[in-house]
């Protein structure tokens, strides 16, 4: 039983690495099985399809991203400062792995079916996470107070995510493959972070 669990975990780990490096279409279950050192039939036994394997790998990460939305929402500070903290939070996630932003754009944003599934499963479902509920309530209160223009919280969150992603997609040469000078990388990201904050905050003020 323990051996089976270890194989399943190794399949997930290998699939994540290959999906990030080669994309969904560039990764085959044959390659995953070969890298794991198991029979391809085991991939289908545990996960049935490559698409299901994709979601089994990345659904927990998507859930964490939504759940951790609570972290920057300190109610003791100004609303616009809280939005700035949310942007800092998402920049921090993407800085951890330079492969992540291109992967999200190519495999999630550019795939309408997957993007719809992400929004419905993690933001719009009746069982949506309390973190997004809190974010939505916070935005609605600011609108009611006349400090923020009329808008949906989900649209604000999508704007934050898309602008943050763009900072990592439109980047200095060599950035995505780790060849960019670390100081240049930090300076670029710091500047883009502040630009995104300015664009988002000024864009939502009433």
If phi > 0 it is left, if psi is from -120 to 50 it is alpha, else beta; for residue 11 that is: alpha
Q: Torsions phi, psi of 99, nearest 5?
A: -80, -20
Per cent of the chain over pLDDT 90 is: 35
Specify whether 153 is located in the same domain as 87: yes
Asked whether residue 126 carries a pLDDT value surpassing 80, the answer given is no
Same domain, 22 and 93: no
* 76 and 177 housed in the same domain: yes
pTM over 0.85: no
What length is written for the chain?
206
Same domain, residue pair 152 and 98: yes
Q: At what angle do helices 130-144 and 50-67 cross, to 10 degrees?
A: 50
Looking at the structure, tell me whether residues 101 and 158 fall in a common domain.
yes
Radius of gyration, CA atoms only, the chain:
19
CATH for 9: 1.10.10.60
197 and 163 in one domain?
yes
Residues 119 and 191 in one domain: yes
22 in Cβ contact with 99 (< 8 Å): no
pLDDT at 132 over 50: yes
Kindly report the three-state secondary structure assignment for every residue of 167-188: HHHCCCCCHHHCCCCHHHHHHH
Are 164 and 185 in the same domain? yes
The residue segments making up the domain with residue 62 are: 55-204
Q: For residues 113 and 196, state if they share a domain.
A: yes
1-26 confidence digits (pLDDT tens) = 445 668 888 999 999 999 988 888 89
- Higher-scoring residue by pLDDT: 174, 152: 152
Tokens in use for 88? 């800092």
Split into its structural domains, the chain has a count of 2
Share of the chain above pLDDT 70, in %: 84
Same domain (yes/no): 117, 23: no
């Amino acid at each position: 039983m323990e051996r089976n669990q270890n194989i399943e975990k190794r399949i997930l780990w290998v699939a994540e690495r290959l999906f990030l490096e080669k994309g969904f279409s560039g990764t085959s279950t044959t390659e995953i099985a070969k890298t794991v050192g198991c029979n391809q039939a085991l991939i289908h036994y545990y996960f049935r399809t490559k698409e299901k394997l994709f979601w089994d790998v990345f659904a927990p990460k998507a859930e964490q991203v939504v759940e951790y939305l609570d972290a920057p929402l300190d109610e003791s500070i100004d609303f616009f400062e809280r939005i700035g903290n949310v942007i800092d939070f998402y920049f921090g996630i993407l800085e951890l792995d330079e492969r992540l932003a291109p992967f999200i754009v190519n495999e999630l944003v550019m795939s309408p079916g997957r993007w719809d599934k992400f929004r419905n499963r993690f933001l719009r479902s009746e069982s949506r996470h309390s973190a997004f509920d809190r974010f939505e309530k916070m935005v609605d209160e600011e609108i009611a107070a006349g400090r923020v223009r009329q808008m949906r919280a989900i649209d604000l969150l999508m704007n934050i995510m898309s602008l943050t992603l763009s900072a990592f997609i439109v980047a200095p040469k060599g950035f995505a493959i780790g060849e960019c000078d670390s100081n240049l990388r930090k300076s670029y990201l710091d500047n883009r972070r502040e630009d995104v904050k300015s664009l988002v905050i000024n864009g939502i003020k009433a």
